[in-house]
């Protein structure tokens, strides 16, 4: 019998046995009965993919796994890898239906772009495939760049054509995504210069969809036609698109119908010569980015400094988003209140602010109380909260800035907070039988999981009170609680929770609340 005649599960088992990791081989052996390739590849995906590149039979078996998750990072050679992947998608249509998860970390920076726009023919091919072309003025700029390349210094050349580079990459990303009918998770990690162009082309792609039809379709198509015939007519002051009202902008067919998770990571662009940092982004631009993926119910944002333009209407909504993860996102003044108001159907919120604001003096520090007040707009629907604000001093925050009460979150099941943010929230005259700490005494009865990160020395009495009261009276649904227990007193409190009926009592507070 030839190797190629064996069942797929046996071939994978044999290939895995060539690797030296016995526990991994054992997992593959134990999972073989399921018959699912992804399960069989637990922990072995990369070695087997490498092996498959030299074995046609194994390659045929693993082909769907090879392109299920595509990741292209930012570094020397990765830009070329990206364009090689674009070329593959263009010339091999069967690849398009295999991509389920896509991670792109791309920038157009001097030093990485060693030549003018690498493959201008790809722009024309993407136009042919999607029916949407890049703006004529941008194409002319890239032709000019291609003709003049080599006559000037590389960095000077990049500075001159930087905006055209950005828009070409944004166009390529948008059209590329539209070719993946089964893509479910997308992560875009880049800078504002590229991100701001993507919604424009997503809108154009939606309008080019054969099923596009709205009350204003004729008007929209007419305005889009004007933009193509006269590119500068779609600009304001030569820099920004004339978008129109946000609601009008999004009445188009969804380009990514299967998308469930959309992550956008913003990296500040630092010019290597002049050290100029561009890191602020307007609330209107965020709105367009978020609503670009109008089917995604999970939104992850990182690295944004969100500013407010006085002439922009902030009344936009993203009712499709139920999970919102904000990591290192800063808001000017009280914009966080308006921002969270735009997500009326949230069930899960993760807010992580861990780095210094550095050069962002206009962005006020977000106090725990301020964040909680903004979240109370969604208190009736939120089921999971993980909140950590930036504690520069390392000391407990003042009572006026601390978390106060969670009793309005009537459906809350999971809560992850830091002790420094609420240990000073005290009720001087608590009702009889209630604890002085307003957070501990206001935990909703729906709570099933509670993690407290940081020292509990100042709330030992409150935890002891909670351990005695939680079941069956105060928190009848509580199944898990975790807090640090460095001494005898806290360990005894944990024992009271266990005796009281809490299934899992631990000192191992989850260090990755973003995964909750």
Least confidently predicted of 59-63, 394-398, 447-451 = 59-63
| Residue 281 scores a pLDDT above 50 | yes
Q: Which carries the bigger pLDDT value, residue 453 or residue 192?
A: 453
- Asked if residue 355 is part of any domain, the answer here is no
- Asked if residue 444 is part of any domain, the answer here is yes
pLDDT band (50, 70, 90) for residue 308:
low
Preceding amide of 374 cis, omega within 30: no
Residues 88 and 188 in one domain: yes
Residues 35 and 96 in one domain: no
Q: Cβ(126)–Cβ(90) under 8 Å?
A: yes
| Residue 246 scores a pLDDT above 50 | no
Exposure pattern of 176-209 as b/e (b: 16+ CB <10 Å)? Answer: bbbbbeebbbbbbbbbbbbbbbbbbbbbbbbbbb
- Work out the average pLDDT over 270-286: 54
Q: Is the pTM above the cut of 0.85?
A: no
Cα–Cα dist 284/282, whole Å: 5
CA angle 383, 389, 393 (to 5 degrees): 150
**pLDDT recorded at residue 56:** 74
**pLDDT recorded at residue 141:** 81
- Asked if residue 499 is part of any domain, the answer here is yes
Residues 41 and 125 in one domain: no
Residues 145 and 284 in one domain: yes
| Residue 36 scores a pLDDT above 50 | yes
Q: Which residues pair with 103 in a beta bridge?
A: 71, 187
- Work out the average pLDDT over 209-233: 40
Range of the domain at 39: 3-63
Residues 147 and 210 in one domain: yes
Residues 56 and 170 in one domain: no
How far is C-alpha 287 from the chain's CA centre? 14
Residues 98 and 120 in one domain: yes
Please spell the DSSP secondary structure of 216-243, one letter per residue. THHHHHHHHHHHHHSGGGGEETTTEE--
Task: Report the domain count for the chain.
Answer: 3
- Work out the average pLDDT over 19-33: 46
| Residue 503 scores a pLDDT above 80 | yes
Residue pLDDT, tens place only, 393-432: 678 889 999 999 999 999 999 999 999 999 999 987 787 8
Q: Which residues pair with 269 in a beta bridge?
A: 278
Residue pLDDT, tens place only, 157-195: 556 677 888 888 899 999 999 999 999 999 999 888 888
**pLDDT recorded at residue 182:** 94
Exposure of 285 by Cβ count < 10 A (0-12 exposed, 13-18 middle, 19+ buried)?
buried
| Residue 442 scores a pLDDT above 90 | yes
- Asked if residue 289 is part of any domain, the answer here is yes
- Asked if residue 325 is part of any domain, the answer here is no
Strands 277-278 and 269-270: antiparallel
- Work out the average pLDDT over 477-499: 93
Q: Which carries the bigger pLDDT value, residue 375 or residue 342?
A: 375
**pLDDT recorded at residue 73:** 81
Residues 145 and 183 in one domain: yes
Residues 16 and 47 in one domain: yes
Q: Where is mean pLDDT largest: 12-21, 54-63, 82-91, 244-253?
A: 82-91
- Asked if residue 210 is part of any domain, the answer here is yes
**pLDDT recorded at residue 2:** 65
- Asked if residue 333 is part of any domain, the answer here is no
Residues 37 and 155 in one domain: no
Exposure of 381 by Cβ count < 10 A (0-12 exposed, 13-18 middle, 19+ buried)?
middle
Residue pLDDT, tens place only, 96-136: 999 999 999 887 654 445 455 556 788 889 999 999 999 88
**pLDDT recorded at residue 217:** 40
Of the residues 12, 36, 63, the one at which a domain ends:
63
Of the residues 258, 280, 298, the one at which a domain ends:
298
Residues 176 and 142 in one domain: yes
Taking all residues of the chain, what is their mean pLDDT, rounded to a whole number?
77
Percent of the chain with pLDDT over 70: 68
């Amino acid at each position: 019998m030839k190797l190629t005649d064996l069942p797929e599960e046996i071939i994978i088992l044999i290939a895995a046995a060539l690797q030296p990791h016995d526990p991994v081989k054992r997992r593959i052996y134990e999972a073989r009965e399921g018959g699912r390739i992804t399960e069989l590849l637990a922990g072995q995906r990369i070695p087997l993919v490498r092996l498959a590149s030299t074995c046609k039979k194994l390659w045929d078996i693993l082909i769907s796994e090879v392109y299920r998750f595509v990741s292209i990072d930012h570094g020397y050679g990765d830009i070329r890898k990206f364009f090689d992947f674009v070329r593959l998608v263009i010339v091999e249509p069967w690849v398009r239906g295999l991509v389920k998860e896509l991670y792109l970390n791309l920038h157009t920076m001097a030093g990485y772009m060693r030549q003018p726009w690498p493959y201008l023919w790809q722009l024309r091919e993407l136009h042919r495939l999607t029916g949407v072309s890049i703006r004529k003025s941008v194409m002319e700029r890239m032709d000019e760049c291609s003709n003049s390349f080599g006559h000037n210094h590389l960095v000077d050349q990049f500075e001159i054509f930087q905006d055209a580079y950005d828009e070409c990459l944004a166009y390529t990303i948008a059209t590329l995504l539209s070719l993946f009918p089964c893509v479910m998770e997308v992560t875009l990690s880049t800078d504002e210069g590229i991100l701001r162009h993507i919604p424009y082309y997503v809108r154009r792609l939606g309008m080019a969809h054969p099923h596009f039809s709205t009350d204003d379709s004729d008007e929209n198509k007419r305005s889009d036609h004007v933009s193509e015939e006269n590119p500068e007519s779609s600009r304001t002051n030569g820099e920004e698109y004339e978008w129109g009202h946000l609601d009008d902008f999004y009445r188009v067919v969804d380009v990514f119908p299967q998308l469930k998770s959309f992550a956008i990571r913003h990296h500040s662009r630092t010019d290597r010569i002049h050290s100029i940092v561009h890191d602020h982004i307007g609330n209107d631009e965020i709105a367009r980015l978020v609503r670009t993926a109008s089917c995604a119910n999970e939104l992850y944002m990182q690295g944004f400094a969100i500013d407010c333009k006085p002439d922009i209407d902030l009344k936009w909504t993203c009712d499709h988003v139920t999970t919102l993860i904000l990591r290192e996102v800063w808001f000017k003044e009280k914009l966080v209140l308006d921002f969270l108001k735009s997500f009326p159907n949230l069930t899960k919120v993760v807010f992580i602010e861990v780095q210094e604001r550095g050069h962002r003096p206009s962005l006020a520090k977000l106090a725990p109380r301020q964040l909680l007040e903004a979240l109370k707009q969604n208190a009736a629907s939120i089921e999971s909260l993980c909140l950590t604000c930036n504690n520069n001093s390392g000391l407990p925050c003042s009572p006026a800035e601390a978390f106060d009460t969670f009793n309005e979150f009537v459906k809350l099941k999971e809560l992850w907070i830091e002790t420094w943010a609420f240990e000073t929230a005290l009720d001087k005259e608590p009702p009889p039988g209630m604890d002085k700490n307003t957070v501990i005494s206001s935990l909703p009865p729906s709570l099933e999981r509670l993690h407290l990160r940081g020292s509990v020395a100042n709330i030992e009495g409150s935890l002891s009170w909670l351990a005695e009261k939680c079941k069956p009276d105060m928190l009848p649904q509580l199944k898990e609680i975790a807090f640090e227990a460095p001494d005898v007193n806290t360990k005894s409190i944990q024992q009271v929770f266990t005796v009281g009926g809490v299934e899992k009592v631990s000192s191992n507070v989850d260090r990755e609340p973003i995964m909750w």
